[in-house]
Structure 1
Amino acid sequence: MDTRRPPSFRGVAFEVDSNSRPIGRRVQIDEYPLRDYASSEDLGAKARTFGLEALIVGDDYVERRNRFEDALEQPGPGELIHPSRGRLWVVLVSGDISESSSESGMVRYSLTFAEIGERPARTEATDTAAVAQTSAEAVGEVAAADFTKGFSIGGQPDWVLTEAGKLVGQAQDRFDTLASRLSGYGQPLNDFIARGKALRSGVLTLAGSPASLGTEVTGLIQGFRQLARTPGDALSLLKGLMTFGLGFDAPATTTSGRKRQAANQAAIIDLIETTAAAEAVRAAADLSFASYDEAVATRDALSDALEDLGLAAAEAGHDDAAQAIEDARLAISADINARGADLARLTTFTPVGVEPAVVIAYRLYGPANLEARELDIVSRNRIRHPGFVPAGLPLEVLNG
């Protein structure tokens, strides 16, 4: 079986235990009285079908199982990456699912696909990145609206304002920590830092206008995406803000003032986390991937983070936010699936002797783009001396 082609259906990966395919033609057999031999009529080629004994296995098998079964049950044809026959445009004809208590963490599938020909040409391609960007914008709008409705200091004791200011100060501490990773960005970074200082010093005044306070906090979070050198850098920074609320205990709600303090704390945390989620989706939609595996890892990590955030919003009764986050999760997953589908997969190569990276690149890929291939091997594996790649250590390389 050709393990250089990791199997998948509609972009969802699975493992294969075995595969089969019937062969032959459609033949009509005619038998007549008093004749010893039958005659046949060739009716053309049979539909090409493929049987796969598929597996979903691993600690995360439940989530992967659900995504795989969603893909199997979608109507219409889809793309199957067959382990030995490559890309096929197929429909699922039949399938059986089997789970056993003796095989924990595993589900088995007996699947039959029928090939229906070439994938039809698209007359109008969907700009999946643009769809994801639009969904991110909707998340940001809901975050701002929910904050304006949920935060208030009107008619409250002074200490309620003071506590809100302390929490915004803690948020700014986190912003400053992340901004320290943006060294060498010149005047734009200086302006960003100055804006943060203005928020810290003016928070007690801004708190009187929830919309103004929300705008300042949102602007700083958006600044991380705008300032970062690459979308990948931005995504790394923003994912840290998507869990800003971890570690904060909800205040006791024994008095009206404490209830307002708790509501304000929740509003500030939700604004930061949800705005960070919106900007993370924007960054991911701008991100280019070097391999299919990198795309899948990014998709899964971001999807999990968005799912957690959406569930928390739903539990808090913020239905609009929960729906917007779920829409963004589906949009960015579809975008990464579309852009990553044709990328090279990762595999491993183990040199049997010490040799230069350029020799390994030539052996794996031939003379085309040799310098770029060499650099990819060196950077991907953090090779200190490209002229002397150690023997016996598996290298992560692109497959094709």
Structure 2
Amino acid sequence: MTTNSWRQLLRPASWRGVPFEVVGDEVEFGRNVAIHEFVQRDKPQVEDLGRKTRKFRIDGWICAGAQNGFNPWPQRDALVAAVEQGGVGTLVHPFYGTLRGHITTMGVKQTSSELGGFISLSMDFVEAGEVEFRADVVDDTGGTVLAAADDSYEALADEFSMAFSVEDLPGFVLADAVDMVDQFLGVLAQWRRPESLAAQVAELNLASIGIYSQPLALAQQVMTIMRDVAQPQAFHEFLRPQTPNIPTRGRAAQRTNSVAFTHLVQSASLIRAAELSVDFASSSNRFAADSTVLRSTPKLITYNEMQAQRSAITQAFTAELLDLSGLQMFPNTQQLLVALRTAAVQHMTSTGEHLARTFVTTCCDGTGWNGFMPTLVLAYRHYGVLSDDVINERNEIPNPLFVPPRAAIELLHEVTE
């Protein structure tokens, strides 16, 4: 074969945009299988595991010619650099089109210019697949709730600061503002004092008369305390006494301040309730799938209890949003509260699917030896463990040694996950 004849057989190709020419290739096609052979069976069972990875053995050339100024060496160096570059690359093949993958090996054989000036290439190419991730694995519903809560707190404080004012107003406006903060702290004292250092400092700051001339700081101190509250539902219906409806500038400001502070407390309590919903089930005492181990955690949370909490939060949010819709002072907060409500409901719904279900049964019929039954016996019969703490806690049994006859006892289903 003459030099011109074999050159006419070459076909253009490229790797990562660097051109070369192909004279031939070998490709492997097929499917991956697992062959299962069994005793006393003449034919095996063949399990199809999917298409086999396509591997190409490519024979290529870089020839000296007019396209490279009869100097193939810079083109060779560029191709070597492209092969050694990391990541998935694009191969343009004259017979199979555009392929994505990796060149794992490239052999280079060079000849002198006296023999025509060409470089022989031998490449091993392997196709690459797309990396896929399961969306549900990275779906952080709890993180979505907390992020929405932070946004809601920020918008609530900003819009409160634009509505609340005691500057250049009669003294009774400031006195009423002090009284509303005292009312808020009074409700707080009925439950417990703030435990975190930040909340304690915020409570001290509210005692300063200068805080009332800084509405944004006032709102931030209230929300710092609220984020430490474990029973936010105590503030869902926080109300101020009705302000006299007298058409003066001072009374109008007093009414505006009262409405703004009322909804500051109510909305902050709802945001706090949504925050707590993230941990509401993560510390639950769920019944293990093997029905032999009870996880010792502070409080048992079941599917039914989660549903009740979800309904309560939804109703509280809906009532507050209805009240805010008639005002002109919290437009951004309303939108963010809607988003927060949606995030909290989605989180509690997805989390609740993995919680224990309960059912009610009659402990004993009240006759003979079945007249009374210790809860420890009931726990062993149902759970297979000698621990009756969960039964006693859920049913508030006064004497665990004597369950009342025909008492309705709430128990957990054995398999919950």
Deviations 1:25-70 (A, max 9, x none): xxxxxxxxxxxxxxxxxxxxxxxxxxxxxxxxxxxxxxxxxxxxxx
SS at match of 2:266: helix
Q: How does 1:241-256 map to 2 (within 5 A)?
A: 241-245=235-239, 248-256=241-249
Amino-acid identity (%): 24
Question: What residue identity is the alignment partner of 1:292?
Answer: Y
Q: How does 1:1-400 map to 2 (within 5 A)?
A: 124-179=137-192, 188=196, 192=199, 195-200=202-207, 202=208, 204-224=209-229, 234=230, 237-245=231-239, 248-288=241-281, 289=284, 290-317=301-328, 318-352=330-364, 353=370, 354-365=372-383, 367=384, 370-372=385-387, 374-400=388-414
Whole-Å separation in 2 of the counterparts to 1:336 and 1:195: 31
Whole-Å separation in 1 of the counterparts to 2:147 and 2:386: 38
Q: Residue 363 of structure 2 contacts residue 405 of structure 2 at CA under 8 Å; is this kept in 1?
A: yes
Q: State the TM-score, normalized to the length of structure 2.
A: 0.58
Q: Residue 309 of structure 1 contacts residue 325 of structure 1 at CA under 8 Å; is this kept in 2?
A: no
Structure 2: which 5+ runs fail to align?
1-133, 285-300, 365-369
Q: Residue 243 of structure 2 contacts residue 254 of structure 2 at CA under 8 Å; is this kept in 1?
A: no
Whole-Å separation in 1 of the counterparts to 2:410 and 2:252: 54
Q: Residue 397 of structure 2 contacts residue 403 of structure 2 at CA under 8 Å; is this kept in 1?
A: yes
Change (3 A) 1:358 1:271: same
Change (3 A) 1:294 1:251: same
Whole-Å separation in 2 of the counterparts to 1:195 and 1:154: 22
Whole-Å separation in 2 of the counterparts to 1:393 and 1:326: 43
Q: Residue 132 of structure 1 contacts residue 281 of structure 1 at CA under 8 Å; is this kept in 2?
A: yes
Deviations 1:168-191 (A, max 9, x none): 1221222222226x8xx6xx58x8
1:342 CA drift (Å) = 2.5
Q: Residue 205 of structure 2 contacts residue 221 of structure 2 at CA under 8 Å; is this kept in 1?
A: no
Whole-Å separation in 1 of the counterparts to 2:254 and 2:136: 55
Question: What residue identity is the alignment partner of 1:313?
Answer: L
Whole-Å separation in 2 of the counterparts to 1:195 and 1:152: 20
Q: State the TM-score, normalized to the length of structure 1.
A: 0.60
1:399 CA drift (Å) = 2.0
Deviations 1:349-393 (A, max 9, x none): 11123112122123223x2xx145x22111101112222222201
1:134 CA drift (Å) = 1.2
Question: What residue identity is the alignment partner of 2:311?
Answer: D
SS at match of 1:378: helix
Whole-Å separation in 2 of the counterparts to 1:348 and 1:152: 56
Change (3 A) 1:122 1:274: same
Change (3 A) 1:123 1:345: closer
1:195 CA drift (Å) = 4.5
Deviations 1:128-154 (A, max 9, x none): 111111111122112101111110122
Whole-Å separation in 1 of the counterparts to 2:394 and 2:269: 29
Change (3 A) 1:123 1:130: closer
Question: What residue identity is the alignment partner of 2:144?
Answer: V
Whole-Å separation in 2 of the counterparts to 1:160 and 1:379: 50
Deviations 1:74-125 (A, max 9, x none): xxxxxxxxxxxxxxxxxxxxxxxxxxxxxxxxxxxxxxxxxxxxxxx75534
Larger radius of gyration: 2
SS at match of 2:227: helix
Q: Residue 345 of structure 1 contacts residue 399 of structure 1 at CA under 8 Å; is this kept in 2?
A: yes
Question: What residue identity is the alignment partner of 2:336?
Answer: A
Question: What residue identity is the alignment partner of 2:394?
Answer: R
Q: Residue 205 of structure 2 contacts residue 211 of structure 2 at CA under 8 Å; is this kept in 1?
A: no
Whole-Å separation in 2 of the counterparts to 1:145 and 1:325: 14
1:223 CA drift (Å) = 2.4
Whole-Å separation in 2 of the counterparts to 1:250 and 1:132: 36
